[in-house]
Amino acid sequence: MATSSKVDIRAIDELAVVKLAVGSSTVLAPGDLVDFDSGTTAAVAHSGDNSTFLGVAMEGSASGDVQEISIATRCKINIKVVSGSADAVIGDAYKYSAGANGTEWTVTKATSEGIMWALESISNGNYGLFLVDSHCLAGGFLFDTCTEG
């Protein structure tokens, strides 16, 4: 099992936690960014499409495991802004840049929709606090829960 993603989960909305099974070949660490695509839970591996983004893994999964893990779909996390990206300003949208399966995750400023929003000013190359809320990603996996009455 991967041991560390270097993403620190700071606060979780306990009503916004889902449990999903992980495929036997999927390796996740607590703090990994997770998507749900074609019925499969996996680490985020692309920056261009937020429609499959689900949230942040609260538990790890080793190769061969198929048990359900908890995923925070709304939380605050501390994550690194990739060097060379624009400095973050409160409210800026950010998207996946790099990282997976226990390696250091980084995010970069999104030119359109992102998967998280800056909660403070952050210089590139540094860690900062972001809001993850996959319920409110337009066209996202959980968008209907944000737009229903």
pLDDT at 7: 78
Of 60, 121, 57, which Cα lies nearest the Cα of 94?
A: 121
Q: Is residue 140 part of a domain?
A: yes
Task: Please tell me the pTM assigned to this model.
Answer: 0.83
Q: Is residue 74 part of a domain?
A: yes
Q: Poorest-confidence range of 30-39, 44-53, 133-142?
A: 133-142
Strand partners, 74: 133
Instruction: Tell me: pLDDT of 87 over 80.
Output: yes
The size of the chain, in residues, is 149
CATH number of the domain encompassing residue 106: 2.40.300
Instruction: Tell me: pLDDT of 8 over 50.
Output: yes
Q: Is residue 3 part of a domain?
A: no
Q: Are strands 106-109 and 93-98 parallel, antiparallel or unpaired?
A: antiparallel
Instruction: Tell me: pLDDT of 135 over 80.
Output: no
Of 47, 55, 85, 60, which Cα lies nearest the Cα of 71?
A: 55
| 122 Rama sector, left if φ>0, alpha if ψ -120 to 50, beta otherwise | beta
Higher pLDDT, 89 or 38: 89
Q: Is residue 95 part of a domain?
A: yes
Q: Is residue 2 part of a domain?
A: no
Q: What is the dihedral of CA 78, 80, 85, 91, to 10 degrees?
A: 0
Instruction: Tell me: pLDDT of 42 over 90.
Output: no
Q: Is there a contact between 114 and 94 (Cβ–Cβ < 8 Å)?
A: yes
Structural domain for 120, as ranges: 8-147
Domain count, the chain: 1
Q: What is the dihedral of CA 109, 110, 115, 119, to 10 degrees?
A: 40
Q: Is residue 134 part of a domain?
A: yes
